[in-house]
Structure 1
């Protein structure tokens, strides 16, 4: 199996002057990078969705923390550990739902706490951020192989939102499984929901797959159930922004509807995410904070208002929804696979026995 020809896209990279992020708001029309040279710029890029996808947000936050530490040394000298606290809080507030963000920042804070206060921390913090990035790349490869092994040759798959290289540091989570299974000859057709209101499926997933030579058929989000009824889909494969201790999954809005339709039509439902996405402190999906964004994202499309400008016309715009664990057939992580996930299965996985 050679996935190299199906893994050519990268969303973020570190260069000498700072963190470069492929501006995903402009895709597919423009390929333009944003250079972030301080933590505030990284936090703003995360908030504004220049970079998105839970693993990629975590990687970006790691680099943001490294920039925070370097700036604190320049400003405060030996007081740099306390001096970086404000930047770390800014990074922490940038997106509330994706647990990878908090995980990466906690790891960077642990690294910082072990460094001497009278020495420049820049190189050590940057090395830790690089390690987070490299580990994500390696985890993507392991998840891709594990998930692909579950897919029977000749399958059709449906994915929702974007879970590829644009959402991670490497091959991708759900899209990494799809890329690997495609290279193995296990998948015959790939379908992608357009994913309103940001159209990550149409703008990003289709762009990634086209860049790697993998054919994809787009469909309106509301068409997924009808497509499943035709028998052309054997697996629905999605990522996750947070997984609760009992296996409930928070992911892009519309995922819950896909899971319900999949169960109705005998389509298996796979969630692919690194263990950094699992939040053992959150017992169930009901406790996961769900980000709500500006109503204009629903009321407008392409800069043009699509809803009437009339009193009483508003919009509810949650970014994520929660899929109960009982609708999930398998969760694939870099540590292993959990079938029919529940609290016991998730605990065993995190303990290394899963």
Structure 2
């Protein structure tokens, strides 16, 4: 059994008045059946563009997929016609966006919105669709499902609307659910509930999940694998254990250092990553993180580091992993002890 999804050497550009933005550069990763992978990075790192490419949502123009393959169950999605892609979207691959209010139709009862996808992809009679919609409302933990079926989006709280979105996305039992910052607009307690819900549903329905987030706390709670993106490139990827216990890229260290630690005393300062991401009109020749990296060497400015294989699928694009590079003692500890 192959990977459920395999993205290979994806390149996505956007034409603008100022020139061509290289938004995603040589991105490769794969998702197994029943697995949760998180793609992490700050705004503009290319993570949303990556998943929009999978969903066929890149507006052309101005966007253009310049190269690569997106293999879903062995089939290259980039070669499909719009019509063929529409059969897969919402049926085999579904997406939950960060703001449910822009994705839900305010003039339509939520029960009908859940049914819409069902009836589009599955030839089922009206009463069956209604029954399934009410089941989905229950499944995502919304009480009084029958009454709620008749209500409009504005009658739901933010967290409940996000649950409705998940119900719509999961109505057709998709094999892959893409969640783009699904908890950004919610407060922390509700955030935890929505993430727990997604984890429970993954177990029940054996759906794989790609979770897009800028929040490493969310990753620790939810994912099994992590890909860290910076300036359109995956700079590190591995299991959650690899990334949290033994990260091998200075950008990842920076992200980890900026997580607040509950056990530390209140005086502990969070360490921001100094500087700004590079201009993607003319991406740097070398490592995109080099101008902000305190460990940067000459080669980092000149040449993009290859994907160094650390072990067992843990990969980092950083010249410090080259055998010729100077050794930095226990890198995370080094990063963290400077200011303890």
User: Is the TM-score greater than 0.5?
Assistant: no
Higher normalized contact order (CA 8 Å, seq sep 6+, divided by chain length)? 2
With normalisation by structure 2, the TM-score equals 0.25
- More strand per residue: 1 or 2? 2
Q: Which structure has greater helix proportion? A: 1
Superposition TM-score, scaled by structure 1 size: 0.25
